C-alpha cells in the first residue's frame, strides 16, 4: 500500500510546523504539502524540514483547486487563532475560520479526498462549562472565535453525515511547547511566562492566578493528528484533546521555576475581561480512541519550551 499524500493547512504555524516535521519522518506518509498564507506562520520552520509550501489562503477557491487534487488526507489547522483578533474583526474570523473550512471541505469532496481532520477549540464550551467538559455537553462560545470553531467542527461532522466524507473534529485545549510565539500582546500563557522568565522579568498573572487551564503538550497533539491520518479515523462527534488535568496559573509558575531551576517573581494584574475562569477536558473519549497516547508531565514539557526559547 502507498502512504498518505497529505495536505496540511496552517502547516507553517505553531502546531502545524511540529506536525509537518513528524509527518515527513513517518513511513505512513508519502508526501506533505502545506497551504499557509504566512499571516502568523513562518516559512523558515518548513524550509528546514523539506516540506513543499504553497503560499495562499484557504479562502481562495483557485488556490484550493491547485493544492487539493491528488491529496488523500487533509489536516486543517489554518485559522485566525486569536480570541482578541476575533473581537476586533468578527467578520474576518468568520471568513477565514468558518467559510475557509467549508470551501476546503467542498474542494475535498469534489476531488475525492478520503479523510479530513480539523482543529476546533475548547473555546466552544464558553465560560461556565460543567467540569470536566464532555463532548456531549451544551456549548456556549463567548467570542466570534469560539463560534467560528463551532462552525468548523460542525461543517466537518455534517460532511460526514451528508456526503459520507470521513472526518475527525478535535477540540484542542491549551496546547503548549517549543516554537510558540510570545511576541504579541495576546500570547498564550506558557510562552508569555517562558519569555518573561528568560528575560528576568516578573511573570504577569492576570487576576488571582487561581484560574485553571488544561495544558496539553504539542507532541501529544501531533501524535493524535498523525495517528488519525494513519488510521483514517473518523468519529461522529467532536473529540476533546487535552491533558485531562487542571493547572492553575500559580501552579504553572511554580512548575516553570522548577523546570528552569530559577526563582520566579509574580506581578499581579487586573483580571482580563472575557477570560474563561476554569477549563478542563474530559479525556475519556480521547483515551478510548487513542489508547497508546503518550503523556508528557508538565515539568518535562515546560523544559522543551525553555530549551527552544
Ligand atoms: P498558529 O497561528 O501558529 O497557526 C495557524 C496557521 O494558519 C499560521 O501558520 C497562519 O499563517 C495560518 N493561516 C491563518 N490564516 C490563514 C489562511 N486564511 N489561509 C491559510 N493559512 C492561514 O496557531 P496554532 O496554535 O498552531 O493553531 C493551529 C490550529 O489549532 C488553529 O486552527 C487553532 O484555532 C487551533 N487551536 C489551537 C490551540 C492552541 O492552544 N494553540 C487551541 C485550540 C485550537
ipTM of the complex: 0.99
> How far is residue 197's CA from residue 117's CA, in Å, rounded to a whole number?
35
| Under 8 Å between Cβ of 190 and 302 | yes
Instruction: Establish whether residue 36 lines the binding site of ligand 1, counting it when its CB lies within 6 angstroms of any ligand atom.
Output: yes
Length of the chain: 309
Ligand 1 atom with minimal separation from the 59 CA? 18
Whether residues 159 and 17 share a domain: the answer is yes
What is residue 1's predicted lDDT score, i.e. its pLDDT? 55
Whether residues 189 and 157 share a domain: the answer is no
Whether residues 202 and 99 share a domain: the answer is no
Q: What is the pLDDT of residues 119-154, one digit of tens each?
A: 999 999 998 889 999 999 999 999 999 999 999 999
> How far is residue 189's CA from residue 248's CA, in Å, rounded to a whole number?
11
User: 6 to each of 25, 35, 113, 228, how far by Cα in Å?
Assistant: 13, 11, 10, 12
| Average pLDDT for 228-240 | 98
CA 111 to ligand 1 centroid distance, Å? 24
Instruction: Establish whether residue 59 lines the binding site of ligand 1, counting it when its CB lies within 6 angstroms of any ligand atom.
Output: yes
> How far is residue 72's CA from residue 224's CA, in Å, rounded to a whole number?
18
User: Which of 10, 21, 276 is the pocket-test mutation for ligand 1 (most atoms within 8 Å of CB)?
Assistant: 10
Whether residues 107 and 121 share a domain: the answer is yes
Whether residues 208 and 293 share a domain: the answer is yes
The total number of structural domains that make up the chain: 2
Tell me whether strands 52-55 and 212-217 are parallel, antiparallel or unpaired.
unpaired
Whether residues 95 and 205 share a domain: the answer is no
Give this prediction's pTM.
0.97
| Under 8 Å between Cβ of 68 and 115 | no
- Enumerate residues 6+ apart whose C-beta is below 8 A from 171: 120, 121, 122, 124, 125, 135, 149, 153, 238, 239, 240, 241, 281
Q: What is the pLDDT of residues 271-301, one digit of tens each?
A: 887 678 999 999 999 999 999 999 999 999 9
**Domain coverage including residue 12:** 4-174+216-241
HSE-CB for 199 with a 13 A CA cutoff: 12
The CATH number of residue 87's host domain is: 3.40.50.720
Whether residues 235 and 275 share a domain: the answer is no
- Enumerate residues 6+ apart whose C-beta is below 8 A from 261: none
Using 50, 70 and 90 to split pLDDT, how confident is the model at 45?
A: confident
Domain-terminating residue out of 241, 257, 277:
241
Whether residues 196 and 265 share a domain: the answer is yes
Whether residues 161 and 263 share a domain: the answer is no
Q: What is the pLDDT of residues 54-80, one digit of tens each?
A: 999 999 999 999 999 999 999 999 999
Whether residues 156 and 253 share a domain: the answer is no
The CATH number of residue 274's host domain is: 3.90.25.10
Instruction: Establish whether residue 165 lines the binding site of ligand 1, counting it when its CB lies within 6 angstroms of any ligand atom.
Output: no
C-alpha cell at 283: 479525556
Whether residues 63 and 32 share a domain: the answer is yes
Whether residues 14 and 37 share a domain: the answer is yes
Amino acid at each position: 500500500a502507498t502512504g498518505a499524500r497529505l495536505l496540511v493547512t496552517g502547516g507553517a504555524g505553531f502546531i502545524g510546523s511540529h506536525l509537518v516535521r513528524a509527518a515527513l519522518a513517518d513511513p505512513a506518509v508519502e508526501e506533505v504539502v502545506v497551504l499557509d498564507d504566512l499571516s502568523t506562520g513562518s516559512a523558515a520552520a518548513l524550509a528546514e524540514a523539506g516540506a513543499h509550501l504553497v503560499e495562499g489562503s484557504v479562502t481562495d477557491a483557485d488556490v484550493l483547486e491547485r493544492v487539493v487534487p491528488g491529496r488523500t488526507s487533509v489536516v486543517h489547522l489554518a485559522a485566525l487563532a486569536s480570541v482578541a483578533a476575533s473581537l476586533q474583526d468578527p467578520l474576518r474570523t468568520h471568513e477565514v475560520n468558518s467559510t475557509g473550512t467549508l470551501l476546503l471541505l467542498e474542494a475535498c469532496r469534489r476531488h475525492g479526498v478520503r479523510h479530513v481532520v480539523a482543529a476546533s477549540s475548547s473555546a466552544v464550551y464558553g465560560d461556565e462549562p460543567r467540569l470536566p467538559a464532555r463532548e456531549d455537553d451544551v456549548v456556549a462560545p463567548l467570542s466570534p472565535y469560539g463560534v467560528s470553531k463551532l462552525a468548523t467542527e460542525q461543517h466537518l461532522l455534517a460532511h460526514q453525515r451528508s456526503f459520507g466524507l470521513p472526518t475527525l473534529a478535535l477540540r484542542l485545549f491549551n496546547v503548549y511547547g517549543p516554537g510558540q510565539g510570545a511576541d504579541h500582546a495576546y500570547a498564550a500563557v506558557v510562552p508569555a511566562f517562558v519569555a518573561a522568565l528568560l528575560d528576568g522579568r516578573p511573570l504577569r498573572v492576570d487576576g488571582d492566578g487561581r484560574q485553571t487551564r488544561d495544558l496539553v503538550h504539542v507532541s501529544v497533539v501531533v501524535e493524535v493528528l498523525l495517528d488519525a491520518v494513519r488510521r483514517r479515523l473518523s468519529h461522529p462527534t467532536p473529540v476533546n484533546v487535552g491533558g485531562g488535568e487542571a493547572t492553575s496559573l500559580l501552579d504553572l509558575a511554580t512548575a516553570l521555576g522548577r523546570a528552569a531551576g530559577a526563582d520566579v517573581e509574580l506581578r499581579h494584574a487586573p483580571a482580563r475581561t472575557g477570560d474563561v475562569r476554569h477549563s478542563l477536558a474530559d479525556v475519556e473519549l480521547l483515551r478510548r480512541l487513542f489508547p497508546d497516547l503518550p503523556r508528557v508531565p508538565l515539568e518535562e514539557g515546560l523544559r522543551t519550551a525553555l530549551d527552544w526559547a
